[in-house]
Amino acid sequence: MLEIEIDGKKLTVPTGSTVMDAANSIGVHIPHFCYHKKLSIAANCRMCLVQVEKAPKPLPACATPVTDGMKVYTHSDMAVKAQKGVMEFLLINHPLDCPICDQGGECQLQDLAVGYGQSGSRYEEEKRVVANKNLGPLISTDMTRCIHCSRCVRFTEEIAGYQELGMPGRGEHTEVMSFIGKTVNSEISGNVIDLCPVGALTSKPFRYSARTWELSRRKSVGAHDGLGANLVVQVKNNQVMRVLPLENEAINECWLSDRDRFSYEALNSAARLTQPMVKDGGQWKVVGWQEALELVATKLKGITASHGADSVAAIASPNSTLEELYLLRKSLAGLDIRNLEARTRLGDVRFETKAAGWLGQSIVDLAASESLLLIGSTLRKEQPLLAQRLRQSVKKGLKLALINPHDDELLCAVAGKLVVRPDQLVEGVLAVLKAAADITGKAVPADIDLAGVEVSTEARALAELIVAGEKKSLVLGNIALQHERAAELHAAAAALAEIAGATLGLLRDGANSVGADIVGFATNKDLITANKKAYVLLHSELADLKQGAKAAFEGAEFVVAMTSFADEARDYADVLLPVSPFSETSGTFVNMEGKPQSFNGVVRPLGETRPAWKVLRVLGNILGLNGFDYDSSEAVRGDVLNGDIAKVLDNTPAKAVAVKAQATAGLVRLAEVPLYETDALVRRAPSLQATVDAESAAQLRANAATLASFGLVAGGNACVQQGGASVTLAVAEDAGLPDQVVRVPFGRATLALGSGAIEVIKA
Amino acid sequence: MTVYVKGVVFEGVDFDDPKHWGIEAYMARGGYTALKKILSTGMTQDEIIAEMKTSGLRGRGGAGFPTGLKWSFMPRSFPGQKYLVCNTDEGEPGTFKDLDIIVDNPHALIEGMIIGGFAMGITVGYNYIHGEVFEAYERFEAALEEARAAGFLGDNILGTSFCFQLHGHHGYGAYICGEETALLESLEGKKGQPRFKPPFPASFGLYGKPTTINNTETFASVPYIIREGGQKFLELGKPNNGGTKLFSVSGHVNRPGNYEIPLGTPFSELLEMCGGMRDGKKLKAVIPGGSSAPVLPADIMMQCTMDYDSISKAGSMLGSGAVIVMDETTCMVKALERLSYFYFEESCGQCTPCREGTGWLYRVVHRIEQGLGRPEDLDLLLSVGGNIAGRTICALGDAAVMPVQGMLKHFRSEFEHHIEHKQCLVPGF
Ligand code: SF4
Ligand code: FES
């Protein structure tokens, strides 16, 4: 600890602190631009110059290490003169176009200029003009406003992991730009908008749509992945205008993924469903809520009476709230309907955890692991901010290892990896398990047959890594959980975790996947291919479901879709109920670490839209059921989460599954859910759909040898046939894939495809 | 042109011999005996550093920091890789001495670096050579090959366990890369811009490893000091200003060139060596230590001796030893405009005061030169300069301001004349 005095206040700070850290710790504000607590120190803006006793010149607080007995003056004549001098320099070439700048009202330069600037300028020479850059559909540029703080550059390099922005040029010719002809494509790129202290980088979708002071700030929770990022939703005239991160160090830190930031566009989409509708003689008709719900009640009652309760199934998006799911379960239970599923992309009906499947520990604890083995995950796309957090952990010593069917860059150092065919993922884990059993001399469970498992050097290296050390984690990602042998992967991974003494975690895809498990939206039946007589859909759409869903819905006697959008379900549903997206309802998401986060609606429901929990409460009453007199979503939540949540979380496989290595050959598909195909909102956010990532959702990718074996060329087209259907996709090369693997994403472009044998021909 | 008067770097070099730069000629004049002495007599690292301290050698790159002291800062027992770097990124207007060293006596530099490596327990060295000098770079590479072939460089030098690898690196011509941390960044393959210090290169240098950086002339002086002893070197100059020094004399003299003379030589003598003023014109002013040193008027300059202390007492600095001589036909406004343009163009653009301030200074001086000056401009220049100096990451900000301050201190009336009459005081400009 070191003693320091700042503006006469004495304090002690840890060795290694900077003057800025010390000042922050006692709430002394030192003006700054380039300093950011999450970024490396650049010390280039010089706004933070302060006077330090015995130093002949003012020193930058952000970069000056505290020495014992140091005396700092942040507002002395010397300090203020230096700060004002810097402010003058920053302003001479700044356009001062605040009236037409989106940053106006939340601009650090504007704010500090009030305190440190002059009313007139002594600079009467020509001002600099800098050409704008095309950074893609999300970030708008006005580069003349740039003050060269390099925050954006450091962000791409240090936080996003790949330096997509740089500062070529010297002196006054220094400009922030992307690689020539390239845009900024990081999955977390939007954070540079928040970081930019001026209006050089602003939000493209938000551009010129409101002044910041007209916006109210309301808290919410990210609805597109398992992280549960905390949000500030900004609202004007009952419309969501933009979304910003709300700092929560334990979850999203001060960042936001682009998916959570820009998907709000869909909330204002013209495709929104605003009134209840029923299909009458093949024609859609607008009806009142009462009429619609009575029809639903009558139909469900009729079908259960004539075909039995097992003939009805409810399929919900894992982004539905805990309250919605609970009341759906409760109302259907009144008709004895028990077919409930929210794990809509699960690939293996045998997969079952003892209680709700979760990360196995907190996000913070996971990131503090000594070693982490990630199995079957495209982490940057599945959970962008978790990938970011682990990237920082790797810099601090985390050994991150992978077993994956691809070799995608995590943009951090990887301590070991095993790249296998997607249909050899189980065998990959078995190889590591065998090596780990070998090293530790521990036995594997009897259901796991290791005969014929070959241990490669890579597998052995992974085993050595995961058995050594203290705090170890083993995590199954979406590719693993969506795998057709997910139950075997689960069993093998659990055995490996046991032998290695590691914590087993599951990366759940939805905002409320864990909550859905808790409510009981997990059957071990395939509800789609079972062709039920009636389906109740909550926020889920065809692109969330497997092949055959459309046929199953069309073949059903009755389908009710509780949805926010009118543009899809009208093809197969009989009743459309407009229910609130997360922004228009109160509710709770339980994130991947088992943390329930409740939120309020940030805007009023659009048109006749109603929060689904209220709709289901009315349905319960219409069905004549008891216990539906809730007056708030909190009351509903109280019925579900009434005790220690840790007791309802358990990743242990519920039943033993026989695991055995299988030989595979031939062409195989690697199907993942692309970054911007995850849910109904994301799929309808135009700016996200204009990104490079969205483009790749309609691509077939394979390595050069595989492409050549089918006569395909990158840039050309391919016709893919699977499950009796075919689609045409653009072809791109992916050098990281094993031979005879085609990466064909799971999304709207490939919805027609089924599973099993796949064929590819040149188109 | 190099004129050897008395000193250590070019001692014994026969410039008429086309192979004067080669290893044979170098060895014939006593080259590599210092290295052999160290390796055969078992001279210790401490003894070498002590010898360097005795010599009073001060860094020849411009800052004049005592070399022996700098060498003693290197954490010799640091377990990982350490680096030795030579700064031949000579880019300051008026300075051209290091160029001649790698062209005419490259082995003195190589031997000096090998000795430095030995003294500090460093096994890898780089010489960062300015971008625009192609032949000089090739000459240095050729000399390296000779030294490797002769067993002075590489593994197990002269059969001992001492290993030292030395590589040439050709820069890209940015002045800022002469700043040692910008040089390191550039050497690492990044954009050459200075790092904030602390940490200093001695603890966090090239690739984050302890690194010692010295100027070309500094290293080239080392063999002499080891061979002849630090005391002898010291006595070549004057106390606190040990040894001899290369002065790059340019401007309005009859024989511009590099002059190696003892520190403490009166300026008037140096001027004589250069054949006096061109065309018999009158001396008006001298920039005594490279473009960033404040200008000194003739009368002050004629009283100075050429050493760190005397020039600094006169209000300027010896810097790298670039002496820019101006005669009475020189327009000081035009001269400052040139200087200011240089710093404006060469600012790395990283930190605010320098990026924004150098352009401002240049534009105002340019305006005055164009006859568009305003009376308040001169105070504005000083005020803007005051806001740059001491507020930047590296010394380029100060370097840009000092010429302005020097000019306005000694030649303010000339600027006022320009502003008032919208034309030059000096006929012909
Ligand atoms: S664009 Fe913004 S964040 Fe990037 S350097 Fe310029 S001012 Fe800083
Ligand atoms: S905040 Fe310290 S120099 Fe920018």
Query: So what's the ipTM on this one?
Result: 0.94
Give pLDDT, residue A80. 96
- Taking the C-alpha atoms of A680, A686, A688 and A692 in order, what is their torsion angle to the nearest 10 degrees? 120
Cβ separation A122–B393 shorter than 8 A? no
Q: Is A35 in the pocket of ligand 2 (CB under 6 A)?
A: yes
Question: Given this model, what pLDDT does residue B423 score?
Answer: 84
A241 three-state secondary structure:
strand
Residues in chain B: 429
pLDDT in tens, A727-737: 999 999 999 99
**R_g over Cα of chain A:** 28
The answer to whether the Cβ–Cβ distance between A125 and B367 falls below 8 Å is yes
Is the CB of A573 inside a 6 Å radius of any atom of ligand 2?
Answer: no
Counting residues of chain B whose pLDDT is more than 70, the rounded percentage is 100
Burial of A221 (0-12, 13-18, 19+ CB in 10 A): buried
Neighbours of A581 (CB within 10 A): 28
pTM: 0.95
Burial class (CB in 10 A: 0-12, 13-18, 19+), A281: exposed
B78 pLDDT exceeds 90? no
Q: Write the residue in B345, B347, B387 that is nearest to A85 by C-beta.
A: B387
- The 3-state secondary structure of B160-176 reads CCCCEEEEEEECCCCHH
Atom index in ligand 2 nearest the CA of residue A63 equals 2
CA distance A397 to A413: 10
In degrees, to the nearest 5, what angle opens at C-alpha B316 toward C-alphas B314 and B322? 120
3 state SS for B109-146: HHHHHHHHHHHHCCCEEEEEECCCCHHHHHHHHHHHHH
Ligand whose nearest atom lies closest to the CA of A94: 1
Answer yes or no: is pLDDT of B240 > 90. Answer: no
Ligand nearest to the Cα of A144, by number: 1
Confidence at residue A463, expressed as pLDDT on a 0 to 100 scale? 97
Q: Please answer yes or no on whether B360 and A49 come within 8 Å at the CB atom.
A: no
Check if the beta carbon of residue A745 is closer than 8 Å to that of residue A674.
yes
Q: What is the model's pLDDT at position B280?
A: 92
Give the CA diameter of chain A.
91
User: What pLDDT score was predicted for residue A763?
Assistant: 85
Task: Looking at the CA of A32, name the nearest ligand.
Answer: 2
What string of H, E and C letters represents the secondary structure of B393-411?
Answer: CCCHHHHHHHHHHHHHHHH
Q: How far apart are CA B330 and CA B342, in angstroms?
A: 18
Instruction: Give me ligand 2 centre to Cα A48, in Å.
Output: 5
Give the integer Cα–Cα distance in Å for A641 and A1.
Answer: 44
Closest-CA distance of chain B to residue A372, Å: 28
What confidence score (pLDDT) does residue A119 get? 87
- Among the atoms of ligand 1, which is closest to the Cα of residue A148? 5
- Render pLDDT for B325-364 as a digit per residue (tens, 0 to 9): 999 999 999 999 999 999 999 999 999 999 999 999 999 9
| Amino acid in position A551 | A
For the stretch A94-134, pLDDT in tens is 999 999 999 999 999 999 999 999 988 999 999 999 999 99
Average pLDDT over residues B95-117: 96
Which residues 174-213 of A have a C-beta within 8 angstroms of B?
A: 174
Backbone angles phi, psi at A95, to 5 degrees: -70, -20
For the beta sheet containing A230-236, the strands, ordered from the edge strand earlier in sequence to the opposite edge, are A216-221, A230-236, A239-245
DSSP-assigned letter for residue B199: S
H or E element: which one contains B231? helix B230-236
Q: How many helices (H) and strands (E) does chain A have?
A: 23, 34
Strands (E), B244-360: 244-251, 257-262, 265-266, 283-287, 296-297, 305-306, 322-327
Establish, for the pair of chains A and B, how many residue pairs have beta carbons separated by less than 8 Å: 99
Interval A518-560: pLDDT, tens: 999 998 889 988 899 999 999 999 999 988 899 999 999 999 9
CB atoms within 10 A of CB A54: 7
CA A625 – CA B351 distance, rounded (Å)? 70
Lookup: tokens for A408:
């995608």
Q: What is the pLDDT of residues A461-483, one digit of tens each?
A: 999 999 998 999 999 999 999 99
Q: In A609-727, which residue ranges form alpha helices assigned H by DSSP?
A: 612-622, 633-640, 680-683, 686-689, 692-696, 704-709
C-alpha B86/C-alpha A136 separation (Å) is: 44
Distance from the Cα of residue A72 to its chain's centroid: 43
* Closest atom of ligand 2 relative to the A31 alpha carbon: 1
> Quick check: helix, strand or coil at residue A145?
helix
Nearest-CA distance B298 → chain A (Å): 31
CA distance B173 to A361: 54
Q: Among residues A678, A747, A648, A691, which one has the least CA distance to residue A226?
A: A678
What are the pLDDT digits (tens) for A340-382? 999 999 889 999 999 999 999 999 999 999 999 999 999 999 9
Which CA distances in Å does A596 have to A79, A587, A734?
Answer: 47, 10, 39
Q: How far is A156 from chain B (nearest CA, A)?
A: 16
Q: Among A19, A45, A52, name the best residue to mutate to test ligand 2's pocket (greatest count of ligand atoms within 8 A of Cβ).
A: A45
CB atoms within 10 A of CB A458: 19
CB contact under 8 A, B345 and A170: yes
- Average pLDDT of B83-102? 95
* pLDDT on residue B317: 93
Greatest alpha-carbon span in chain B: 73
Taking only the tens place, the pLDDT of each residue in A243-262 is 999 999 999 999 999 999 99
Nearest CA to ligand 1 atom 8: A149
* pLDDT single digits (tens) A229-244: 999 999 999 999 999 9
Give dist(CA B219, CA B213) in Å, integer.
10
Give the pLDDT confidence of A148-190 residue by residue, as tens digits: 999 999 999 999 999 999 999 999 999 999 999 999 999 999 9
Q: What pLDDT does B428 receive? A: 59
Provide the pLDDT confidence category of residue A697 given band limits of 50, 70 and 90: very high
Over the stretch B178-233, which tens digit does the pLDDT of each residue have? 999 999 999 999 999 999 998 999 999 999 999 999 999 999 999 999 999 999 99
Q: Residue B429 above 60 pLDDT?
A: no
- CB neighbour list of residue A229: distance below 8 Å, 6 or more residues apart: A221, A222, A245, A248, A251, A252, A255, A256, A257, A260, A385
CA of A34, closest atom in ligand 2: 4
**Which amino acid is residue A191, in one-letter code?**
N
Chain A CB contacts of B363 under 8 Å are 125-126
The three-state secondary structure class of B245 is strand
Kindly give the distance from the C-alpha atom of residue A246 to the centroid of ligand 2, in angstroms, as a whole number.
Answer: 24
Q: Does B427 have pLDDT greater than 80? A: no
Option in B196, B349, B383 nearest A174 (CB): B349
Query: Nearest ligand to the C-alpha of residue A153?
Result: 1
Please tell me the distance between residue A47's alpha carbon and the centre of ligand 2 in angstroms.
5
Specify the pairing of strand A741-743 against strand B83-88.
unpaired
Tell me the nearest-neighbour CA distance from B32 into chain A, angstroms: 42
Structure tokens that stand for A118 in this block: 């002059």
Cβ(A45) to ligand 2 under 6 A?
A: yes
Q: Is A494 on the interface with B (CB under 8 A)?
A: no
B66 phi and psi angles, rounded to 5 deg: -55, 125
**Interface test mutation site (partner A, options B387, B393, B394, B396, max chain A beta carbons within 10 A):** B387
Q: Angle CA(B112)–CA(B116)–CA(B120) in degrees, nearest 5?
A: 175
Residue A413 near residue A424, CB atoms below 8 Å = no
Could A46 and B352 be called an inter-chain contact, meaning their C-beta atoms sit closer than 8 Å? yes
Q: How confident is the model at residue A59 (pLDDT cuts 50, 70, 90)?
A: very high
* CA dihedral for A196, A202, A208, A214, sign (positive or negative): negative
Question: For A47, which residue in chain B has the nearest alpha carbon?
Answer: B352
pLDDT level of residue B142 (50, 70, 90 thresholds): very high
Nearest to A174 among B355, B391, B393 (CB): B355
Over chain B, what is the mean pLDDT?
A: 94
Which ligand ends up closest to the CA of A34? 2
Residue A33, ligand 2, Cβ within 6 A = yes
Token reading at A310: 């097992």
Question: How far apart are alpha carbons A739 and A733 in whole angstroms?
Answer: 12
Average pLDDT, chain A: 96
φ, ψ dihedrals at A3, nearest 5°: -95, 140
Q: Contacts of residue B387 in chain A, CB cutoff 8 Å?
A: 82, 85-86, 88-89
> Cα of A246 to ligand 1 centre, how many Å?
21
How near does any CA of chain B get to the CA of A722, in Å?
49
Pairs from A178-186 (Cβ < 8 Å, separation ≥ 24): A178/A133, A178/A135, A183/A134, A183/A135, A183/A136, A183/A137, A183/A692, A184/A135, A184/A136, A184/A138, A184/A139, A184/A156, A185/A136, A185/A691, A185/A692, A185/A693, A186/A156, A186/A160, A186/A161, A186/A162, A186/A258
Report pLDDT for A546: 85
A171/B357 touch (CB, cutoff 8 Å), yes or no: no
**Helix count (H) and strand count (E) of chain B?**
17, 12
Cis omega (within 30 of 0) for bond into B198: yes
Residues with CB under 6 Å of ligand 1 are: A 146-152, 176, 195-198, 200-201
Beta bridge partners of A476: A375, A506
The Cα–Cα gap between B331 and A304 comes to: 102
Tell how far the Cα of A197 is from the centroid of ligand 2, in angstroms: 12
Tokens of A77: 């004549």
Amino acid residing at B393: I
A32 lines ligand 2 (CB under 6 A): yes
Q: Tell me the residues of chain A between 89 and 148 that have a Cβ less than 8 Å away from chain B.
A: 89-90, 92-93, 122-123, 125-126, 128, 147-148
Chain A residues within an 8 Å CB radius of B360: 89, 92, 123, 125
Three-state SS letters, B4-34: ECCCCCCCCCCCCCCCCCCHHHHHHCCCCHH
Does A167 sit within 8 Å of B191, measured CB to CB?
yes
Bridge partners (DSSP) listed for residue A43: none
